[in-house]
Amino acid sequence: MSSKPTLLDHHHHQQQQQSQNMIRLKSSGLSNGSPTIDCDDELSRSALFAFRAKEEEITQKKMAVKQRVEAQLGRVEQETKKLVEIRNDLEALEDPSWKEAAVVRKKVDSVNKELKSLGQNCHKKEKEYREAVEAFNDKNKEKGQLVTRLMELVTESERVRTKKLEEISKQIESFVKI
């Protein structure tokens, strides 16, 4: 470290001198109703000047910080306004589509219910159709069997009648020969 006195050292020295001067002022008491001052005027003026300079520096720093805070608050206020506008824009964009989507969803649900009902009805009708086709095919098969039996009966009947006719014819011929 260097042994050069710094601005801080000078300031510290001045503050010590001011404190000593203040102590002297307080300890000197009153003489003839007025305070007595033990320090010389130049030292007092120097201390007063240093005090005023420090006060001025502090005031300037305070003003600078205050200006920075106000500027920051202004930016924050502007950003807040922008964010509010963006949020409003988002709400305006989402709201109509959300409402329309909700309406479409309700319609989809309604159509799904109708489809379910129609699907159940369709399955019922398909089952009834299969049963009707099966009944139709069974009756058609039964009819075929009956027609086949009828043909057999007719054929058998014709054969039996033809045979009887032949027998009767032979009998008649045998009577005619006599």
Q: What is the pLDDT of residue 19?
A: 52
Query: Tokens 């305006």 correspond to what residue?
Result: 92
Name the β-bridge partners of 31. Answer: 34
Q: What is the pLDDT of residue 77?
A: 93
Q: What is the pLDDT of residue 15?
A: 56
Q: What is the pLDDT of residue 94?
A: 64
Q: What is the pLDDT of residue 65?
A: 93
| Low pLDDT (below 50) residues in the chain | 1-8, 10-11, 22-38
Domain ranges of the chain: 40-177
Q: What is the pLDDT of residue 20?
A: 53
Q: What is the pLDDT of residue 143?
A: 96
Q: Tell me the CB-side half-sphere exposure of residue 92, using CA atoms within 13 A.
A: 6
Q: What is the pLDDT of residue 70?
A: 92
Ramachandran area for residue 33 (φ above 0: left; ψ -120 to 50: alpha; else beta) = left
